[in-house]
Structure 1
Amino acid sequence: MFIGVQYYRPPFPERRFWDDDLKRMKDSGIDAIQLWACWGWIEPAPGKFNFDDYDYFIEKAIKTDLKVVISTIAEIQPFWIEREVPDGFMIDHLGRKVKSITRIECIVGLTPGGCTDNPLIKNYMVRFLKEIGERYGKIEEVIGWDCWNETRWNVHSSGYVCYCPYTIEKFRDYLKQKYKNLEGLNEKWRRRYNSWEDVFPGTTPGKGCTELIEFLKFLSYRASGIMRFRAETLRETGVKGIITAHCGAPSILSTGWEPEQPLCRGNDWDFIQYLDGYGCSHFPFWGRFDDRMFGIRVEAVRSANQGKILWVSELQGGSARNGLSANLSVEAKAQQRWVWNAFGRGAKGLIFWCWRDEVFGHESGGFGISGNDGMAEERLEALKETSKVIQRYDCMLNNYKPVKPLIGVLFEPETYFLEWSMDGKIEKSLESLLGYLKVLEVLNIPYEVVESLHTEVLKDLKFLILPFPLVVSDNLSEVIEEFVSNGGVILTEGDIAAFDELAFYRYPGEDRRLPYRLGISPVLDRQIMEKEDFTLKIDGKTFKLKGRYWVSPLSGGKNKVIGKDSEGRVIAVTTTYGKGNIYAFGTFLGANYGQDKIFDKNFEEFLFYLFSKHRCIPDIKILLKNKRDIIYRYGKTENGTLLFVINPTGSKEIDFKIPDGVFTKRVIIDIRKGKTIRLDSKKETKITLNIMPGSWNIFLLQ
């Protein structure tokens, strides 16, 4: 476990601050500093490396008893790169050369730089990574290598990239590997190409969905290749610290923006095979997302990590800046809620961005945890308290593992690609996915985000939710069918498997393998909903729900009808398949969440009922009228069960229902206050715990 802080993004802070800042960091409870090792700064001339400032920092950090994390910023390329590799330019979707410039917040090199599909560009980058790995890799105090910062490769490009000859050649190689030959490609794409030279990637939405989707998949695959060579290059030098990387936002939120395609920075689930751990950047006050949305972001990355080390690789330190603007000052209590919210979900390391306020560009004047937003003193005092807790209970916290989820929510990148290729934005699939994740957060039920090509986790789950499932491959259909047949439960929204992975529409019936096999095929396709509200009745209970977008009515038949719309069309059914259960809808529910308080309440109660019915509720439960505002996570550690409570409210007490089996000594230790609570009753217990308003607590249950 460690808490670190980003310090040096050359050439700032200036040397006159260094010694005093390192001492202040140590005094504030910081364990480690992170240094941005920018290629463009370190190799100012080809083959000539200057590490003087890094040598000083690392030596001084060790003497100050601080560990070091090195972030290799190889995407800030040297100014000489275009001169040395004249054909290394990226090409945008309009055929224009991308002229690289200094980045909006970093002035020591070029971005986006040359294309790494050009072998000379890649070789230069590999040489830089080898040089820094060999120089610092054997130092024990260098505990980590963040080998790719926010998986950036196309920042400041003039358009969608890359369409240079080298990337197009690699795209064709990717297709050859996938389809074996041109005949195989023609069969899947429904074309009559007679030469690979005629096969080009798609460019923008609405123009050639198939080749655009295929290119989006390639870009994600390509990013994994970049991650692989960056990580493997460092590993080959024998670095002792763990090798990590981090995203700017989890893959489930990587929906594309000008001029970036969705998931072009890669898929978190694919990266982890090359890494020891993985993390994400989080700036809650800048991004205006609450504690639960912060939790969703952490859980998405934890799910992608598949059991490997989880870091919060960048956490907002002070007030954000985005050009000539002002933003919220970062409150100490809120900041420490983020810290413990992350640790409660399994994070083992955390790095604040950053120590001092930034100096250059659109981030200047902001982000420093010790910065000038009026709250630095309170933040540093709160950090000291957190640091003391970590130092005292380091072994216990390090061995902590959150309870395993029993519920999964499917994340299907193919649906993102379909929606972006057709509509130029990703809204329906994202809103649907987030709706279910938000409900699970409100209900404080642990969950797994299940990526469609990484379904091994299904063996540990009981319940799987399929939001906006318009694309379901035959392979995934087989996996889900087996899951249900073996006793799993699914809840699926409308139009399941209506399209294949290349945007070709499937007629209802046998072509849509999964709904056909499960007996939940629609009888009509995409009908307008005159009225979104409908009543769902199940097991003697009634819920007022809402559909969204459209309705594709289902067949009653052997299924039990549990909901009809205002026109009498079947909108919800339940049925069984093998040993499992199915709840199928002919419309979309998740995307409505957060729009209507009456619906929200009914939707929460409906899902909670299903989860309870199928025994997916955690053993430790909260008993509080405003329970939707409290966040908690728990799990095993070496000497009991740890319970993390995040309290954004003014509440001072929370009632928990904790089964007797959780206890061995019938003792609760309030770790933050250092108090011990001894219990009398030997049955499932209602326990009142005192908590800090607007803050965090940890309890050890023994």
Structure 2
Amino acid sequence: MDDLDRIYLFGAHCYRVPSPPLGQVVEDMQTMKRLGMNLANFQISWSWCNPDDGKYDFGDLVTLLAESDRIGLFASITLTMEQMPKWVWDTYPDCRLMNARGNRIEDPTQYVLPADGKPGPCWDHTGVRREARRFLDALMETTRGFKHIAYWNLWQEISLAMVNPGASGPDRNVPFNPETLDAFRDWLKARHASLEALNNAWGTRFPSWERVEPPRLYTKVPSFMDWRRFVFEGYLPGVVEERKRVIRKGAGSPTRVAFHTCHPLFGAAWEFAWSRLADYYGTSFYPTAQLYHGWEHPGGILEEVEDRRHELWSSLYHLNYGRCTASGPTRYLISEIACGPYNVGLHVKGDVTREDLRRWLLLQIAAGSQGVVLWNTRPEIFWDEAQGQGFLDGNGGLTPHAEALREFGDALKRHSDLLANSRKPVSPVGIGVDDDTSLFLEGSDAGVHANMPLRGVYEALLTLGVDPNFVDVNRSDGQALARRRILFMPFAAAMAERTVRKLAAYVEAGGVLVSGPTPARFSEYGWAYQSGMSPEAELLFGVRQKSLCQVAEESSLWRWTPKPGRAGDLRAPVVLKGTAELESLALRASFYVQTFEPVRSRPVLRVPEPGGRNAVAGVMNRRGNGRVYLFGTMFAYASLSEGCHGTRAALGRILDSIEVPRARQGEVVMHRRFWQGAELVSLVNLGSQAGFWRDEAGAPSLEDILTGEVFGPGADIPVPAHDLRVCVRRVD
């Protein structure tokens, strides 16, 4: 265990109940070892291991831990606490989660599906917490002698997800249990200096703390913002911390813990704080099901050429977002990665090939992972995922795509230390993530607009040869922001004035800020500024808003545009014309057209108005040693979904004006990781034709991580169309 920091964890989930016969699981672990894996994950369920009060059965787990130790595999144990025993549900009938209507969620599932037992009970219930501690204490007593346990996964795909198709928002919104509401009030007391301060923030007149309530049926109110902040800052991480305390106390020796999400919480920054609670933090990654977001899917049968390019950039968006949340010393772990088709009930999906699996493994390396765990060994036996997943067949034999795992295992034998410890450098380009806007959009039932602007600007920057970082604007101090030469905020509709002041200080110190439309149109509590922009934002951008309207999409599409109620609700499609440093560029307007009256700023975009006049639709303002750009349209949508080359060209000009390096040759872009003088070089070809990357003359040779092929200084390194390769460069 002392050498664990030098080992890139490479394993698979091989046990969860209901499970195939234990003998098959043992055989599969031996196969894993032969393939070069070093970790076996066992998912245990509270209801299975503790079927009655005082009765514990850890027999399967002990057998598997002993076998994994015998054959030289590390073990990890995933807890499924939401799958609570029926006797606990019966003992504490008031532990059921209450929704916003005051109804209890009656679903004491005894199965791991759906959703690993989520949402489970109310974890603020004292009886449930007591029984959970008893169970975990017994579990730790049983496993204490096994020293090869690499980590404990405290919460598989952390969330309050509820499988309840068609349920309304109030029916799904939890937890409104009395104990949790008391905890919410305590959290509010710490956040607000006084009851008067809370009433001022919310626009309410609660006479006492005991009367304070979160909203239940209507979310477009200020109190919703604090309620959801509490869930993400208080309730969910509080559950993790409780489990962490019990596990570490029971282990009797230093013990590593982990947890992960089913996908990054795109648009929000809660995970940047969550990750500090764990030694390993990360995400699931299912390119078989998670590639298309919002309105991206074109419908019908997907063409392989466009689908493959989409897979590359969408996967890197997913994986890099997750990596950026794993802050400080926390290691970034891909806790689940697909290795077989994602079947759902009667619907079966296409086969996963050796090349697919090879590409996915390389993508997560390119994004910065420090460990990966496959889902799973043999095909699924459970109803809703029948015959899906798996790198083995039903008899335990290797599938054709399993050969990609052997190649990856061989690479680990040569480069495990570099893969485990190398990290991507801090990028000079940041994409800001703001919780206030994320919550505001959630409350507006418009959460898609928290994610899609980030996807749009990421795809544009990736194409331009930039490897950006996602940045937690809410929690980053001035020093952290100053590490970025340029920061993109593609849609920050709701911002606290303190956040705007923080951005202003960043610009004054020499940073460059690029904003999408309507920055700080609303406060962090959803209060609308009557002028269309907060006072601090008006100072930062050097403008006053003149007008704001929605603009129709090209070709009469209705992807993000609301249907008009009358003539004049939508402006006809229009193109914005660049001026000054954006001279000669044409940017397609998307979602909004916002026009401005410059105060200290100068125009960089203009839009035609009736009568042949042009209005200002974009500005640049100098502030201290830096500058800000304000685009009065959703430029991220124009680039991503409208194929607007002018938008990408505009971003490229701004990057070039501050000499941001771009690692791009033709359609091939390069990403890098470093550790102790060695580096991993990932070459990603976003083009539909084979490409090349000419390496630096005079640099040490590069070795392909999988094939071992060596490329000398100045060599042209081939990269197949819509594919990637990862190479190692070591300095002797």
Name 1:272's counterpart in structure 2: 275
Which one of 647, 658, 668 corresponds to residue 702 of structure 2? 668
Q: Does 1:244 align with 2:258?
A: yes
| One of 407, 412, 415 as aligned partner of 1:390 | 412
Match of 2:635 among 586, 589, 593: 589
State the Cα distance separating 1:67 from its structure 2 match. 1.2
Partner of 2:287: 284
Contact 1:137 1:241 (8 Å CA) reproduced: no
Give me the CA root mean square deviation. 2.7
For 2:650, the equivalent position in structure 1 comes to 606
Asked if 1 retains the 8 angstrom alpha-carbon contact of 2:379 and 2:390, the reply is yes
Deviates more, 1:346-355 or 1:281-290: 281-290
The answer to whether the 8 A contact 2:682-2:724 is kept is no
CA distance in 1: counterparts of 2:288 and 2:272, whole angstroms: 27
- Name the counterpart of 2:442: 420
State yes or no: 1:573 paired with 2:601.
no
8 Å CA contact 1:202–1:208 kept in 2: the answer is no
Q: Kindly tell me: are residues 570 and 506 of structure 1, through their superposed partners in 2, closer, same or farther at Cα, counting changes over 3 Å?
A: same
Residue equivalent to 1:634: 672
Q: Distance in 1 between matches of 2:418 and 2:56?
A: 43
Secondary structure of the equivalent of 1:576? strand
Distance 2:225 2:635 in 1: 26
CA distance in 1, matches of 2:686, 2:633: 34
Deviation of 1:463 (Å): 0.5
Secondary structure of the corresponding residue to residue 377 of structure 2: coil
Residues 276 and 327, structure 2, Cα contact 8 Å, conserved in 1:
no
CA separation of 1:414/1:342 partners in 2, compared to 1, >3 Å: closer, same or farther?
A: same
Q: Deviations over 1:58-113 (max 9, x none)?
A: 10111122111111111111111122212212111222121123267539996533
Seq. identity, %: 20
Q: 1:351 to 1:66 in 2, by over 3 A?
A: same
Matched, 1:332 2:354: yes
Kept in 1, the 8 Å contact 2:520–2:537? The answer is yes
Counterparts of 1:397 and 1:171, CA distance in 2: 42
Paired amino acid for 1:166: E
- 1:214 matched to 2:235: no
Aligned counterpart, 1:440: 461
Residue type matched to 2:198 in 1? L
Counterpart residue number, 2:49: 42
Determine the C-alpha separation between the residues in 1 that align with 2:549 and 2:642.
23
Partner residue, 1:260: none
Q: Are 1:87 and 2:109 an aligned pair?
A: no
Alignment check: 8 A CA contact 1:40 1:108 kept = no
The answer for the alignment partner of 1:152 in structure 2 is 159
In structure 2, what residue type is equivalent to 1:586? G
Given the alignment, which residue of 457, 468, 472 partners 2:491?
Answer: 468
Name the TM-score, length of structure 1 as normaliser.
Answer: 0.90
- CA offset at residue 514 of structure 1? 2.8
2:637 maps to amino acid: A
- Asked if the contact 2:693–2:719 (Cα under 8 Å) also holds between the matched residues in 1, the reply is no
2:331 to 297, 305, 309: 309
The residue that corresponds to 1:230 in the other structure is 243
CA contact (8 A) 1:435 1:593 kept: yes
Equivalent position to 1:399, from 395, 398, 421? 421
Moved more, 56-65 or 158-167: 158-167
CA contact (8 A) 2:17 2:112 kept: no
* In 2, Cα distance between equivalents of 1:432 and 1:108: 28
Gaps of 5+ in 1: 254-262, 680-684
Q: C-alpha deviations, 1:173-223, integer Å up to 9, x for none?
A: 22222224322221111222223343221224x555222222211211211
Q: Which residue of 2 aligns with 1:455?
A: 476
Q: For residues 292 and 207 of structure 1, do their structure 2 counterparts lie closer, same or farther at Cα, with a shift above 3 Å needed?
A: closer
8 Å CA contact 2:513–2:629 kept in 1: the answer is: yes
2:168 match: none
Question: Which one of 343, 350, 356 corresponds to residue 321 of structure 1?
Answer: 343
- Assess, with a 3 A threshold, how the Cα gap between structure 1 residues 241 and 561 changes in structure 2: closer, same or farther: same
Partner of 2:729: 700
Query: Does the 8 Å contact 1:77/1:109 carry over to 2?
Result: no
CA shift for structure 1 position 633: 1.3
Question: 2:341 touches 2:351 (CA, 8 Å); kept in 1?
Answer: yes
Kindly indicate whether the alpha-carbon contact (under 8 Å) linking 2:162 and 2:172 is maintained by their aligned counterparts in 1. Answer: no
Amino acid aligned to 1:299: N
Q: Does residue 107 of structure 2 align to residue 100 of structure 1?
A: yes
1:531 partnered with 2:531: no
How far off is 1:510 after superposition? 8.5
**Residue pair 1:510, 1:516 contacting (<8 A) in 2 also:** no
After TM superposition, the structure 1 stretch with the greater mean CA deviation from structure 2, 126-135 or 320-329, is 126-135
Conserved in 1, the CA contact under 8 Å of 2:80 and 2:116?
A: no
Indicate conservation of the 8 Å contact 2:543/2:599, yes or no: no
8 A Cα contact 2:370 2:420, kept in partner: yes
Distance 2:533 2:9 in 1: 54
Matched, 1:542 2:584: yes
Counterparts of 1:97-176 in structure 2 under 5 Å? Answer: 97-102=104-109, 105-106=112-113, 111-137=118-144, 139-156=146-163, 159-176=172-189
Contact persistence 1:210–1:503 (CA under 8 A): yes
How far did residue 374 of structure 1 move? 13
Aligned residues: 671
TM-score (norm 2): 0.86
* Residue of structure 2 equivalent to 1:682: none
Q: State the SS of the aligned residue for 1:395.
A: helix
Between the aligned partners of 1:566 and 1:103, the Cα distance in structure 2 is: 62
What secondary structure, in the 3-state scheme, does the structure 2 residue paired with 1:453 have? coil
* Residue 363 (1) aligns with residue 385 (2): yes
Residue 196 of structure 1: aligned partner: 209
Distance in 2 between residues matched to 1:347 and 1:200, nearest whole Å: 42
Contact 2:12 2:375 survives alignment (8 Å): yes
* Aligned match for 2:79, one of 72, 75, 83: 72
Q: Which amino acid aligns with 1:331?
A: T
Distance in 2 of aligned mates of 1:648 and 1:105: 39
Is the Cα–Cα contact under 8 Å of residues 668 and 699 in structure 1 kept in the other structure?
yes
CA distance in 2, matches of 1:168, 1:94: 14
Partner of 1:259: none
Residues 677, 19 of structure 1: CA spacing in aligned structure 2 closer, same or farther, 3 A cutoff?
closer
Q: Distance in 1 between matches of 2:625 and 2:115?
A: 61
Which consecutive unaligned segments of at least 5 residues does structure 2 have? 1-7, 165-170, 293-310, 551-569
